[in-house]
Amino acid sequence: MLARSDTDLAGLLELALTSPSPTESLRAIAGLREELAELERLHVTRALEAGASFSELARMLGISRQAAHRRYRWVVAPAPVVGLDQPQTITREARAAIEFALDEAGSRGTAVVDSEHLLVGIVATADHATAQALAALGVTVGALRGRPRRPAAAAEHGGGRSLRAALIAAATLDLDLLVGATLEARDGRAREALEDLAVPPRAFRAAVGRHRF
């Protein structure tokens, strides 16, 4: 086993490159990988605290937005949202989904975030177990993006609260509330998307909430 004094990046790199022992070199490479992962986490945390977006992180790290959200959503601490009638806190999971939804809306050329954008955000930032459960239903980011969108009028179902009203109803916005608001939103976009994939909203809620509800 490598001595603790050898666990700095420079020492590990030198050992990996110069050791005559392949076993020792491989151990050094494994240690180097761990050190680099920790260094990445440190600087990702600093970047997010400084205001970087997940899209910017994804570009810098050479990974997808979805991978960046899944890998580092835990870094973003619950934070108050200003400008509402009362202070509101958004949990890490809900914030990651909302940020992805904002990026999704922007990539589609619209400044308005509707319930379908939020649905994509929820699916894209789901943890591994939830993502597997959703994939088993046929609900993936690719499937949601690949379906043709209907005209806005066709999605209006009339019932339910507006999306904004639902999202600001509670002092703390967590993923459970976000899923409910998304599926019950008046614009009907999320329900329409699931309908096109032949997935009942109840089945979607069960898959997402398997470890929560």
Q: Considering the domain boundaries, does residue 10 fall inside one?
A: no
* Euclidean distance between CA atoms 18 and 95, whole angstroms: 46
**pLDDT at residue 162, rounded to an integer:** 67
Q: What burial class does residue 87 get, using C-beta atoms within 10 Å of its C-beta: 0-12 exposed, 13-18 middle, 19+ buried?
A: exposed
Has residue 34 been placed in a domain? no
Domain assignment present for residue 48? The answer is no
| Structure-block tokens of residue 68 | 């960046």
End-to-end CA, the chain: 44
* Residue that wins the pLDDT comparison between 212 and 164: 164
**Residue pLDDT, tens place only, 39-92:** 888 888 888 777 787 778 888 888 877 777 777 766 655 444 433 344 468 888
3 state SS for 95-136: HHHHHHHHHHHHHCCCCCCCHHHHHHHHHHCCCHHHHHHHHH
Domain interval for residue 171? 77-208
The 10s digit of each residue's pLDDT in 126-183 is: 988 999 999 999 999 999 999 887 765 544 444 455 677 767 767 788 889 899 989 9
Pairing assessment for the beta strands 88-90 and 172-173 based on DSSP bridges: parallel
Amino acid identity, position 54 = F
| CATH code of 190's domain | 1.10.1780.10
Could you tell me the two tokens for 163?
């999306």
- Tabulate helix, strand, coil % of the chain (nearest 5): 65, 5, 30
DSSP 8-state class, residue 53: -
The answer to whether position 117 is within a domain reads yes
206, two tokens? 């069960």
Residue 182 lies in a domain: yes
The count of domains in the chain is: 1
